[in-house]
Structure 1
Amino acid sequence: MNIQSAFDSGVAGFNKANERAAEAAREINQQQVTPVQGQPEVQQAESQEAVEPNTPITESLINLRLAENQAQASAKVIETADNMLGSLIDTKV
């Protein structure tokens, strides 16, 4: 097995997880907050436009959790490739 390809796969997976998390965070940020009865209404900044939510917040939260799991799995791939490389160096010496 090519160690570099394992490292590359781990890094690519980690980058993909980062993109997924950023997209989910953007979707969550765009959700309009409905005030709770008895709570003061949150004022939006004048520079921000009200954005119609395209994705339900639960779906965005699930995507955020999936990105976390993907990042953890990719980190394990990188860690395993690092351990394999260390073992190969130890046996060569």
Structure 2
Amino acid sequence: MASLDLLSSGFDAVRQGQYRANTAAAEIARAGAPVGPAAAGAIPLQPATGQPAASTRVDSNRPVNLTNSLVELQQASRDVEAGAAIIDTADEVLGTLIDIRA
């Protein structure tokens, strides 16, 4: 059914946006992380709770480009918004089909 494919596409777009946001956030967090042998491969912690801030390991050997990371974060936001719009449209289509059939 076409509406289920549309829902699947929407969920995939949201999932990709979340992955892109997590990756960009880990890069941004890495910019403020201390550089040293103990920090290599570490997962940044949230200051308030001490819980891991991301599930992505931090590679402290690469330089961080904050501009690219912020652009990726904005693109992730747009991916999630587009996926949500697709899901809303699929919901409306499915609702219309159910109304017609009932």
Q: TM-score, normalised on structure 2? A: 0.72
- Percent identity reads 32
1:53 shift after superposition: 4.3
Which consecutive unaligned segments of at least 5 residues does structure 1 have?
34-43
Give the distance between the partners of 1:77 and 1:32, measured in 2 at CA.
36
Number of residue-to-residue matches in the alignment: 82
1:27 shift after superposition: 0.3
Q: Which structure's CA Rg is the greater one?
A: 1
Give the distance between the partners of 2:23 and 2:81, measured in 1 at CA.
18
Q: What is residue 81 of structure 1 aligned with on the other side?
A: 90
Q: What is residue 40 of structure 1 aligned with on the other side?
A: none
Structure 1 residue ranges, 4+ long, deviating more than 3 angstroms after superposition: 52-55
1:58 shift after superposition: 0.7
Which consecutive unaligned segments of at least 5 residues does structure 2 have?
41-59
C-alpha RMSD over aligned residues: 2.2
Q: TM-score, normalised on structure 1? A: 0.78
1:68 shift after superposition: 0.1
Question: Of 49, 71, 74, which residue of structure 2 is paired with 1:65?
Answer: 74
Q: What is residue 7 of structure 1 aligned with on the other side?
A: 7
